[in-house]
Structure 1
Amino acid sequence: MQKRLFSCLRTLQHENPLGLPRSGTPPNLRARMQRGLPEKRPIKDVKRVIAISSAKGGVGKSTVSVNLALAFARSGLRSGVLDTDIFGPSIPTLLNLEGNEPRLSSNNQLIPLTNYGLKSMSMGYLVPETSAIVWRGLMVMKALQQLLHEVEWGGLDVLVLDLPPGTGDVQLTITQQIELDGAVIVSTPQDVALKDAVRGVEMFRKVKVPILGMVQNMSAFTCPNCSTTHSIFGREGVIKKCVEMNIKLLADIPLHPSICEDADRGQPTVVAEPDSLRAQVFKDLAADLRGQLQF
């Protein structure tokens, strides 16, 4: 029997063993995107839509989203928040609406739940609180379509979209199907969070969604006893990254136990401590975005 010789000198036909390019969009995916993109459409009865993203879990994105939406409402705007995180919805907890179910309108549309003058919709209202959502991609996309297009908002000046972590199917579906007025990137100062935030920035740039700016969350902790400031998660990481990427720094939110405590008990800071410096940061953020988008 003739021996077969294996050579390690054969050149690979792609950039790595999986056949994936090291940068940019895969050519076959780019072609499919160009010929198969769905037509973008607005969310019915909503004037402005702002996406809040982090591409990283655990950086306080949902807390920022809810406090921002409440700050819009406190400024006199008809405001709403849509939780698009199918697997880990946080909005019911943050708005103290756990255990409530939305009703259906005469048009068979979901009617948002309201608390603190803010309308909201979330997958957390549609499944039991303790149930794990173990769905494959098609079910996730079906649920997302329902949240995006089958909610009767009843007329909003601004809708805040709380996006899930990552840059995958949910994010692409939203950016390709919905007319977004802009995106806000939330990150903590440390490098491990910033690396994912940069990926989020690049995703929005690829799909041509305007980036309104970045928010540095949990930036520093001031000791209530000695008034010394401690940079728990690093120092000014987001500020430096904004300069590097030519992105506006929208807000620098401190690390304060009250923000977490307020969120856990379903009374976000803008509601629980409306006159505090922490609440003022969210109000200033809302004013900045309102000025940028002129509404």
Structure 2
Amino acid sequence: MTAQGDALLGDAVRAAVGAVSDPELRRPLADLGMLRDIRVDGGTAHVGIALTIVGCPAAQRIERDVREAAASVAGVDAVDLTVGVMTSDERRELTERLRGARTRTIPFGPESLTRVIAVTSGKGGVGKSTLTANLAVALARRGLAVGLVDADVHGFSIPALLGLVDDAGRTVKPTRIDELILPPVAYDVKTISIGMFLREGDEGAAVAWRGPMLHRTVQQFLTDVHFGDLDVLLLDMPPGTGDVAISVGQLLPHAEVLVVTTPQTAASDVAVRSGLVARQTGQHVIGVVENMGAMTLPDGTVVDLFGSGGGERVAEALSTAEETVALLAQVPLSPALRAGGDAGIPVVVADPDDSAARAIVDLAARLSVRPRGLSGRSLPVTPR
């Protein structure tokens, strides 16, 4: 082949390799500045790329995808791949490019197009985290870009519910590019939790933090974690109306709130308080979900293990003369829902025909019909 032909083939290889997406950043390698010398000589494609950090957890996948992309170009007989690492200046430039004009500020403010939904409950044990994890996956399966913050610092469980653990049972760690944190992805949901930052061997330890540390942790999750452009950001809140609830109210006063309860009075009466506190900080209660509702057995028998009517009572108590709060979903007791949580495979994936899975999928459909709007929001444009 002539030198001109090799040059044209090199351009084709560069385009193919540049289109490969980084599995963590979800952007093409060309946009991330990860391409190096790429040329073709006698049918052999010589490809150079630079990973973001030493020990990049996505290295093997990137190398495989790059080899396949280069080899797919007609005229390429072999691929010679050289893998390096970005310099500190290149990483700094990358983080600035990813952050854009934003410098360590919360990107989910009132002007953001991302819907922020805090999932709250009055007390623990109502299945709030299991519901939140499945709701996040159900929204992602509808084609939405979804992020999930495990704000239940003391009782974090989201990583396990989404299967973000390795073969040894250790929680998957996020990747750091200088001060930028890349959240692990499970079932197309970008997820962050304090459990991902505990030292190896401390995964089962208690996190005994007080107010100021809790506030800084939530703030860092919202500031330093690079979620990218999201349609929906879910926050799995701790039960009750303590420090984290107050911090989230201060940091995200425009957030929407979804209140979770069980049918029994002991849960529903307390659940009302979480909605009232959220409303006091300016947040908007968008609805109530009743979890662990009546279960229908194969013979048709209905079992109300936790009674009935709790969701309706919470919705009625949170409704005002100006606004009616709806009971958006009633999720029945489900062995499959519990089993999916234990296995790290959400029931909406593992058993989509299960009654609880169908209820959560229907909830996701109801929540997703409210598109991100521009009305009343300032846009980053300057008239000329």
TM-score (norm 2): 0.63
Higher relative contact order (CA 8 A, sep 6+): 1
Q: Residue 9 of structure 1 corresponds to which residue in structure 2? A: none
Q: Give the direction of change, closer, same or farther, for the CA distance of 1:41–1:80 in structure 2 (3 Å limit).
A: closer
Unaligned runs of 5+ in 2: 1-104, 320-324, 374-384
**Which of 366, 380, 383 is residue 288 of structure 1 equivalent to?**
366
1:216-270 CA-partner distances (Å, limit 9, x unpaired): 000112223x220011001122123323443200000000111101111100111
1:5-27 CA-partner distances (Å, limit 9, x unpaired): xxxxxxxxxxxxxxxxxxxxxxx
Query: Does 1:111 pair with 2:159?
Result: no
Q: Distance in 1 between matches of 2:318 and 2:154?
A: 31
Return the letter of the residue paired with 1:146: Q
User: What is the alpha-carbon root mean square deviation over aligned residues?
Assistant: 1.9
3-state SS of paired residue (2:287):
strand
Q: Distance in 2 between matches of 1:49 and 1:252?
A: 22
Q: Distance in 2 between matches of 1:268 and 1:294?
A: 26
Shift of 1:117: 1.4
Regions of 4+ moved over 6 Å: none
Q: Residue 164 of structure 2 corresponds to which residue in structure 1? A: 97
Unaligned runs of 5+ in 1: 1-39
Structure 1, 153-162 or 127-136: larger mean CA deviation: 127-136
Percent identity, aligned pairs only?
Answer: 41
Shift of 1:140: 2.2
Q: Distance in 1 between matches of 2:353 and 2:291?
A: 19
Q: Residue 230 of structure 2 corresponds to which residue in structure 1? A: 156
More strand as a share of residues = 2
Return the letter of the residue paired with 1:104: R
Query: Does 1:210 pair with 2:284?
Result: yes
Shift of 1:43: 2.6
Query: Does 1:271 pair with 2:349?
Result: yes
Q: Residue 149 of structure 2 corresponds to which residue in structure 1? A: 82
Please tell me whether Structure 1 or Structure 2 has the larger radius of gyration of its CA atoms: 2
Q: Give the direction of change, closer, same or farther, for the CA distance of 1:240–1:133 in structure 2 (3 Å limit).
A: closer
Return the letter of the residue paired with 1:53: T
Q: Residue 12 of structure 1 corresponds to which residue in structure 2? A: none
Return the letter of the residue paired with 1:256: S
Q: Distance in 2 between matches of 1:233 and 1:145?
A: 36
TM-score (norm 1): 0.81
Q: Distance in 2 between matches of 1:264 and 1:105?
A: 32
Return the letter of the residue paired with 2:364: A
**Which of 229, 247, 260 is residue 338 of structure 2 equivalent to?**
260
Number of aligned residue pairs: 254
Query: Does 1:135 pair with 2:213?
Result: no
Q: Give the direction of change, closer, same or farther, for the CA distance of 1:293–1:61 in structure 2 (3 Å limit).
A: farther
Q: Residue 28 of structure 1 corresponds to which residue in structure 2? A: none
**Which of 40, 43, 54 is residue 108 of structure 2 equivalent to?**
43
Query: Contact 1:219/1:236 (CA < 8 Å) preserved in 2?
Result: no
Shift of 1:41: 5.5
Query: Contact 1:42/1:178 (CA < 8 Å) preserved in 2?
Result: no
